[in-house]
Amino acid sequence: MAQAEAQHEAHRFLEPDFLARLDKLRLVAKRLSWGVARGEHPTIRKGYSLEFSDFRKYSHGDDLRYVDWNVYGRLERLLLKVFTAEEEITVYLLLDASLSMGHGDPAKLEFAKNVAAALGYIGLKTHDRVGAMGFAGDVGTQLPPARTRGQILSLFNFLEELSPAGRTDLEASMKTFTRLYPRPGLVVLFSDLLDVAGCRAGLEELARKRHDVLLVHVLGEGENRLDPDGDVSLVDVESDRERRVFLDGDLAERFHREVEAYFDSTRRFCESQAMDYRRTTSHVPFDDFVLRYLTQDRRPG
């Protein structure tokens, strides 16, 4: 099914509609600055060019260096010049391409692809280096980070061809990734985090290697719960393991609570590691997700 969908949407990323949505995102991103936690990681940010982007009112404590004194001369108003830092960062788009990602409606992987495409596009437009990798049991196909003009097309092709296969092993995959790309950057990790071994080790690995992590936790709609339906045969999509259970309300509820607890623990882990954790379902339009991500205040507190 996932295969067929991929075929069908072969050049999805090149469709004008998609591209238009990407452009729109880029414009937003342009205005808002993309960059993850600017000023948070100054040491790793090297801004060569300050590109003016806007004015804003001065407020107490602002660096007087950035006051536009010309304006003050003319208007006697303290306006602060707002610059967009032109930072060159590497954005790694890591997509969980395990079989479980092929599920959901639409498939979680497709959602991840769309978001990855959007972020990659934005990144490239803002002159960041963007690379992409699919992983399941280990890192699979890779698109090395680059800031070339053709990189966007390469990304699109890469994403296009990415299809779900294999079982998730987050830890192994992350270790391979950090070994291959030791340079810290922004890691956008698309996964459903449904790893039998848990996702903690993999995420720790990223944190250890000083990667800035955006965890996009993709779930299918209603994937976190099961409807009580009496006798069912539950088949694991990754291992084909089948389990016959009598699914009653109680069991479903407990399952739901277990799933939530698992996700919750992951989220809290991410917070403790100062990772950005975003949970979404696959049926959310990717552009909404991206937009919300880009516009919302990401810093809690």
Partner 1 sequence: MLWLFPTAFLILLGAVPLILLLNSLRPRGPRLPVTALFLLEKVLRERPMGRRLGWLWHRNLPLILQLLAALAIITALAGPALLGVGAGARDWVVVLDQSASMKATGASGVRFDAAREELLRRIDGLGANDRMMIIGAAAEPVVVQPFTRDRARLRRTAGELDATDAEAPVKEAVLLAHTFLKRQGPHRVVVITDGAFKGIEELPWATSYLELAQVEGGADNVGILGFQFRRVPGEADEYEAMVLVQNFTERPAHAPLVVTVADRVVSRSLLSLGPSAREVLIYGVPGPLRGRATALLAIDDDLQTDNRAYLSFPDERPTRVLYVGPGNPYLERLLRYFPHVTLARIDRIPEDRVTEQVAAYDVVMLDRVPAPPVERGNFILMGTVPEGLDLRVAGVTPRPVLASAVSAHPLAAGVRLDGLVVRDALTLVPEGGVTLAGSESGPLIHAVEKGDLKALVFAFDLTRSDLPFRVSFPLLVRNAFSWFRPASREFPASQVAAGLPFVADVGVDEEQLVFVSPSGETVPVQTRERTGTYSDTEEVGFYQFRGTRGDGEFAVNLFSEEESRIRPSYRAEPAEAATAAAESAPGTRFDLWPVLVVLALALLLAECVVVCRTRRSLLPLWLRIPAAAVLVLALVNPRMLAEEPELDVVMAVDLSHSVGEEARARAADVLERAQGLVNPKVRLGLFSFARRPQWEFLPTDELPVSDLPPPPERDATDLAAAIQGALGELSEGRESRIMLISDANENRGSVERVLPMLRSHGVAVWPYPVSLAEGRNEVYLSEFAVPSVVDSGETFEIKAALTSAGASSANVSLLRDGRVIRSTRRELAPGANWLSFTDSVEQRGTHTYELMVEAEAGADVLAENNLLQGIVSVKGPSRILYLHGPDAARRFMAEALQAQGYEVVEKTPARANLTLPELSGFDLLVLDNVPAYQLSQVKMERIERFVRDLGGGLIVLGGTRSYGAGGYYRTPLEQTLPVEMRPPVRMELPHVALLFVVDKSGSMGGGPFGTTKLDLAKAATMASAELLNPTDEVGILAFDSNWEWVVPFRQAGGGESIAEDVARLTSDGGTDLLKAMVEGHRALAAEEAAIKHVLVLSDGLTEKADLVEQVTRMARERITVSTVSIGGDADRRLMTQLAQGGQGRSYATVDPRTIPQIFTTETLLISRDLLVEKTVTPVALGVSGPMRGLTGQPLPQILGYVLTHVKPGAEVHLRVGEDPLLVSWRYGLGQVYAFTSDVSGRWGRHWVQWPEFSRWAAQTARLSVRNVSDHRLRTDFVREGETMSAVVDLFSPSGRPLNHLKLQGLLTRADETLQEETFRQVAPGRYQTRFATPSRGINLLTVQHPAVVPPPVPPVVSSLSMGSAASAVAFTVPFIVPFSQEYREMNANQDLLERLARETGGKVLRADTLAEDLKGLFTADPDAAGSVRGIWWALAAAGLGVFLLDLALRAFLHVRRVR
Closer to partner 1 by Cβ: residue 42 or 249: 249
Q: Does the footprint of partner 1 cover residue 242 (CB under 8 A)?
A: yes
Which residue of 196, 210, 274, 285 would you call a contact of partner 1, by CB under 8 A? 196
Which residue of 28, 71, 85, 251 would you call a contact of partner 1, by CB under 8 A? 251
Q: Does the footprint of partner 1 cover residue 236 (CB under 8 A)?
A: yes
Which residue of 54, 161, 248, 288 would you call a contact of partner 1, by CB under 8 A? 248
Number of residues forming the site for partner 1 (CB under 8 A): 36
Q: Determine the Cα angle at 283 with ends 282 and 285, to 5°.
A: 100
Which residue of 229, 264, 271, 288 would you call a contact of partner 1, by CB under 8 A? 229
Name the residue type at position 162: L
Q: Does the footprint of partner 1 cover residue 244 (CB under 8 A)?
A: yes
Pick the piece of the chain touching partner 1 (CB under 8 A) from 123-131, 138-146, 221-229, 267-275. Answer: 221-229
Q: Does the footprint of partner 1 cover residue 216 (CB under 8 A)?
A: no
Pick the piece of the chain touching partner 1 (CB under 8 A) from 69-77, 82-90, 232-240, 265-273. Answer: 232-240
CA–CA dist 89, 46 (Å, integer): 8
CA–CA dist 6, 110 (Å, integer): 8
Q: Does the footprint of partner 1 cover residue 255 (CB under 8 A)?
A: yes
DSSP three-state, residue 93: strand
Q: Does the footprint of partner 1 cover residue 231 (CB under 8 A)?
A: yes
CA–CA dist 143, 177 (Å, integer): 12
CA–CA dist 39, 112 (Å, integer): 28
> Residues 6 or more apart from 70 whose CB is under 8 A from it?
none
CA–CA dist 103, 281 (Å, integer): 11
**Contact mark string toward partner 1, 85..124, x via CB under 8 A:** ---------------x--x---------------------
Q: Does the footprint of partner 1 cover residue 281 (CB under 8 A)?
A: no
Q: Does the footprint of partner 1 cover residue 171 (CB under 8 A)?
A: no
CA–CA dist 18, 10 (Å, integer): 13
Q: Does the footprint of partner 1 cover residue 233 (CB under 8 A)?
A: yes
Q: Is the peptide bond before 300 cis (omega within 30 degrees of 0)?
A: no
Q: Determine the Cα angle at 49 with ends 48 and 54, to 5°.
A: 140
